[in-house]
Amino acid sequence: MALDAGSGALGANPVQRVQLQTGVLTLALLLLSLLCTPLRLVFGWTWPARIRKALGLLAFVYAALHFLVYLFDKGILNSDFGLQTILTDIVKRPFITAGFAALLLLVPLALTSFKGSVKRLGFARWTALHRLVYVAAALGVLHYWWGVKKDHTQPLIYAGVLIVLFAVRWLWKKRKPASTGKKRPVGGV
């Protein structure tokens, strides 16, 4: 993005371009972080779980950037538009409400991504808290869907991937008691 900005390749409407790109990156990273567990369940790979935290935190960073661009775009510094517009937007427009809610849900997850947090919260509570990522990802996809004017191909792809990822978790959960049962119960995240 910085490269493009330097070379003018962000096009005629750079704010919109950056807005879209940070949003898409947030979703892509969130879905990648949600892919780690299914990879372990299906193929027994453990390495994706090691980069899961990085993926999740990076998703949060992009979500925050996405929100900052929105604040800038709505003229937070400009008294003519500013805070009132943003509050109206969040309350009145489901599209913005969904996106904002998703961002809010990611905040506690990012705050409890330190090593000590699991210990402090207790494993069960920490796991329960981090299940919020499911809601956040679903809201994120909905936000993207509503934000598109007509061509829903891209949001549809994200929705499809999310559904597959959820389905794998659900199937494994259902299967587990029936099969060997020697697997330790693990957190779903």
Partner 1 sequence: MTDPNKKPQEPASRIVTPASSRREFLKSAGLFTGTAALLGGGLELLSRHPGASAESAAPGSPIVQAKRPLGPYDTSEPITPYEQATTYNNYYEFGTDKADPARMAGTLHTRPWTVKIDGEVKKPQTVDIDTLQSWFPLEDRIYRMRCVEGWSMVMPWLGFPLGSLIRRLEPTSKAKYVQFTALLDPKQFPGQRADVLNWPYVEGLRLDEALHPLAFMAVGLNGRILPGQNGAPLRLVVPWKYGFKGIKAIVRITLTAKQPQTTWSLAAPDEYGFYANVNPKVDHPRWSQATERRIGELSRRATLPFNGYAKEVASLYSGMDLRKYF
Which chain residues interact with partner 1 by CB under 8 A? 1, 4, 9-17, 21, 24-25, 28-29, 32-33, 46, 49-58, 73-75, 78, 80-81, 85, 88-89, 93, 95, 109, 113, 115, 118-119, 123, 127, 130, 133, 146-147, 149-151, 184, 186-187, 189
CA distances (Å), origin 152, targets 12, 121, 148, 158? 23, 40, 7, 10
CB of 52 to partner 1, least distance (A): 5
What is the torsion angle, in degrees rounded to the nearest 10, for the CA atoms of residue 86, residue 87, residue 88 and residue 92? 110
CB of 164 to partner 1, least distance (A): 19
CB of 167 to partner 1, least distance (A): 21
Other beta carbons less than 10 A from residue 103's beta carbon = 20
| Strand ranges, E, within the chain | none
Both tokens of 129, joined, read: 């808290």
Contacts with 82 (C-beta within 8 Å, 6 or more apart), sequence order = 74, 75, 76
Nearer to partner 1, 92 or 175 (CB): 92
Nearer to partner 1, 4 or 159 (CB): 4
CB of 89 to partner 1, least distance (A): 7
